[in-house]
Chain A
């Protein structure tokens, strides 16, 4: 079947782009692998987060902040189309520091972020514990302070994924599940993929298959050297609303559960959970907010982030086969606003904006030092 665009990958990145392409009027088919896929979109923490991203890479800082800026429009659009509340809340956010050394490191990092922000500015404050205690109830005695920016927030990742899918299909997009790509042929502006659910052809194709992109990209003259990085999350029972803003590692959802997370492990394609890491997540949470320790943990899981060698997203269009694009990142929630409302129009127009040039995988094409 011929469409205007094929998007491979039905997670947050693919669904946001597919929704955006549909909004540009393109007949779009979204191919999803199936439940054997790693599904990072179903395991993530749900932050719409700006303050930690882009040190030494101001283009990433701008892209992330731009996405946070697009989020209210995306959330309103999705709510109007689907009635699904993505539980977006952007009250600002804090990164808690549990020692003077952590506080000093953080202060230096934030100062460098501000210095790198150029004309875009970067509003932040380092807040000492006494003032922080007035902002966040029940802060533990070990917390010495925090960094704060007004740009941060959070949302429901599952609500977002469901809303993107529903908005896409209700606008006439074709969602095809159990459609892992088994073969592909590429020519400039002429792509054909074979899947278990049939064959599809289009002049445009977007690779948004997460970790699957590593194998798909070479078929289209692209390079996406992404690797898995494991993160683990603990979830408590619901409690009455108590946290007015998210922290980097602790947030309270719209329904009241407290989510604890943000571990990083280099363990390959291993989605098991490990008690030492879970214990460390719980330990830091209880140091941050001792009252968390009274709550029951009712769920825990791990998921695999999609990481480039330098931790930044990769966006590219194929030189050999124009019309083939790739989108790779580990921040499918934060960047959903940008993917749906900024990246998708570029793909529809046939060229990535020069602002995305630093995200090309060409940055990895440097000779290795002997």
Chain B
């Protein structure tokens, strides 16, 4: 669905989006990796369960929430990609751990 625009930086950082390796340039966000992975959605909302994918890409809409390296509910557009990062779907609200 999405293609990377012409990019001077080579895609050298490998992250895992739902287990699939995706290469992004240094400085790209986890949300960019989600879009490049072509997922139909990265999360489902807590209230209605409706699907969401990254939208605003500037930390406002919260549609890009994902579980990143085991931490739920992270705004993937605000998280720089790092080698080996694991980005996974967020289903509903996170569980608080008593």
Interface residues of A (CB under 8 A from B): 137-138, 237-240, 242, 255-256, 258, 289, 291-292, 294-296
A137: which B residues are within 8 A, CB to CB? 98
Given the interface pairs A255-B46, A256-B46, the reply to whether A238 lies near B94 with Cβ below 8 Å is yes
Q: Is the CB of B94 within 8 A of A239?
A: yes
A241 to B47, CA, bound (A): 11
Interface of chain B residues 58 through 94 with chain A (CB within 8 A): 73, 92-94
B97 in the interface (beta carbon within 8 A):
yes
Q: Which residue of A is nearest B65, CB measured?
A: A237
Contacts of B96 in A (CB 8 A): 138, 239-240, 242, 258, 291-292, 294-295
Q: Could you tell me if B94 and A240 are in contact, using CB atoms closer than 8 angstroms?
A: yes
Interchain CB contact (< 8 A) of B95 among A239, A258, A296: A239
A198 to B98, CA, bound (A): 56
Report chain A residues within 8 Å CB of B47: 255
User: Can you name 6 A-B residue pairings with CB atoms under 8 Å?
Assistant: A137-B98, A240-B96, A242-B95, A242-B98, A294-B96, A294-B97
Number of residue pairs spanning A and B whose beta carbons lie under 8 angstroms apart: 38
Q: Which residues of A contact B46 (CB under 8 A)?
A: 238, 240, 255-256
Task: Tell me the count of chain B residues lying within 8 A, CB to CB, of chain A.
Answer: 10
- For residue A296, which residues in chain B have a CB less than 8 angstroms away from its CB? 73
- Shortest C-beta distance, B30 to chain A (Å), equals 15
Separation of A242 and B94 alpha carbons in the complex (Å): 11
Using Cβ atoms and an 8 Å threshold, which residues of chain B touch A256?
Answer: 46, 93
- For the complex formed, measure the closest distance between the CB of A288 and the CB atoms of chain B, giving whole angstroms: 12
CB < 8 Å: which of B73, B92, B98 contacts A138?
B98
Are B98 and A237 within 8 A (Cβ)? no
Per the 8 Å Cβ criterion, residues 21-46 of B in contact with A are: 46
Taking a contact as CB atoms under 8 Å apart, the answer to whether B98 and A240 are in contact is no
The residue of chain B having its C-beta at the shortest distance from the C-beta of A296 within the complex is B73
A138 to B46, CA, bound (A): 22
A260 to nearest B CB, angstroms? 13
Q: A258-B96, A291-B98 are in contact. List 7 more A-B contacts (CB 8 A).
A: A238-B93, A239-B96, A242-B95, A256-B46, A256-B93, A294-B97, A295-B94
CA gap between A295 and B65 in the complex, in Å: 14
**Least Cβ distance of B72 to chain A in Å?**
9
Query: How far apart are A81's CB and chain B's nearest CB, in angstroms?
Result: 23
Closest Cβ neighbor of A257 among chain B residues: B93
Q: A256 vs B94: C-alpha distance in the bound complex, in angstroms?
A: 9
Q: How many Å from the CB of A238 to the closest CB on chain B?
A: 4
Query: How far apart are B13's CB and chain A's nearest CB, in angstroms?
Result: 24
Chain B residues whose CB sits within 8 angstroms of the CB of A240 once the complex forms: 46, 92-96
Is B73 touching A237 in the complex (CB atoms < 8 A)? yes
CB distance from B12 to the nearest CB of A (A): 30
Contact A237 B94 (CB under 8 A): yes
A296 to B46 Cα, complex, angstroms: 16
Q: How far apart sit A296 and B96, CA to CA, in the bound complex (Å)?
A: 11
CA distance A237 to B95 in the complex (A): 11
How many Å lie between the Cα of A16 and that of B98 in the bound state? 38
Complex alpha-carbon distance, A1 and B10, angstroms: 70
Most buried by A among B46, B96, B97: B96
